[in-house]
Structure 1
Amino acid sequence: MKLEDEVELLRRIPLFAKLEPSRLKLLAFTSERMAFEPGQDMFHQGDIGDAAYLILSGEADVLVDTPSGPITVASVGKNALVGEISILCDAPRNATVRPTAKLDALKIKKEHFLRLITEFPEMAIEVMRVLANRVSATNEELSAAKRQLRELAG
């Protein structure tokens, strides 16, 4: 894909919509486009977080290891950002991301991602918005699970 096409693709993604074209061009140039097949993990829980991935097309499950085996805690698709938590928290990956369909992603190295959110506060705010929405959805799911447990307990 030509650099101009990559820039246009990035411009359509809400996270990068407010970045100027020269920054998008730099992002496209410094990022690596990757293709994953269904079942081919993008990364594993416990791995060192060296990059964030922006899903360009396809879908994936987010899995967390438990004593009784992995469980799917979320599904993600086009325009989703994954892997950013380990970069922001400087901690190992907290989940495995496994494509359920052919998936194309842009791999953004840790240093480039951190530079972008440092230089562009509007991008940092958008990342915070994404994370806040995830926390909100998780809280709703936990509340629903608690209600179900109470009903089962009688």
Structure 2
Amino acid sequence: MNSNTEKNESGEFSEFQVNLNLLRDIDFFSGLPLDALKVFAYLCTQEVFMPGQYLFHQNDDDGSAYYVISGTTTLCYAEETGEAEVRDYREETFFGSLSILTNMHRLFSLKAKTEVRCMVISRQKFQKAIGQFPGLMPRIIKTIANRITRWEKQFILDHAGNWPDCRDHIGISLI
């Protein structure tokens, strides 16, 4: 039996195997070699957040990335008048790729709307693993650049009829 099909005594896949399979499907990690993915899978943990519990808070530098395995989260933005709910995210959403690369404060808060199970990796663990595979950084940077470009292309398509309102807000791919 290979590591891709190993199950525990109760017939379920181990947390390591679940993490490995999830990492293969996350754009940020999917192009990385199997040896590196195995290290990341080992370093990831799974955490459960109850409704109303925050995964991270606006202005915090929690240094973690989250992949929503199950449940629904709500992205929130604190304003002077209170907290505004921006939008919901469901399963198969990955947050925090920039947070595991460098120190950065969150622009939003993310809270569990329902019970949420996430796969989590900290900046410290991510950077420790990258130290074992220094050749990965160019691939990761390319993945992030491609993601930014795809996002901006989609933004342009979504707002094509509203150029006067949004033209001052495009150009992120120029950074």
Whether TM exceeds 0.5 here: the answer is yes
Equivalent position of 1:152 in the other structure: none
Identity %: 21
Given candidates 68, 79, 85, the residue that maps to 1:55 is 68
C-alpha separation in 2, matches of 1:137 and 1:49: 29
Amino acid at match of 2:145: M
Given candidates 119, 141, 145, the residue that maps to 1:128 is 145
- How big is the shift at 1:64? 0.8
1:91 equivalenced with 2:104 (yes/no) = yes
Amino acid at match of 1:98: K
Say which structure is richer in helix.
1
1:73 equivalenced with 2:90 (yes/no) = no
Taking a change above 3 Å as real, the CA distance of residues 68 and 89 of structure 1, as seen in their structure-2 partners, is farther
Higher relative contact order (CA 8 A, sep 6+): 1
- Which moved further from structure 2: 49-58 or 92-101? 49-58
Structure 1 unaligned blocks of 5 or more: 148-154
Equivalent position of 1:20 in the other structure: 33
Contact 2:19 2:119 in 1 (8 A): no
- How big is the shift at 1:30? 1.0
C-alpha separation in 2, matches of 1:90 and 1:49: 9
Contact 1:39 1:100 in 2 (8 A): yes
- SS of aligned partner of 1:75: strand
Number of equivalenced pairs: 145
C-alpha separation in 1, matches of 2:117 and 2:91: 9
Structure 2 unaligned blocks of 5 or more: 1-12, 166-175
Superposition RMSD in Å: 3.0
C-alpha separation in 2, matches of 1:131 and 1:113: 21
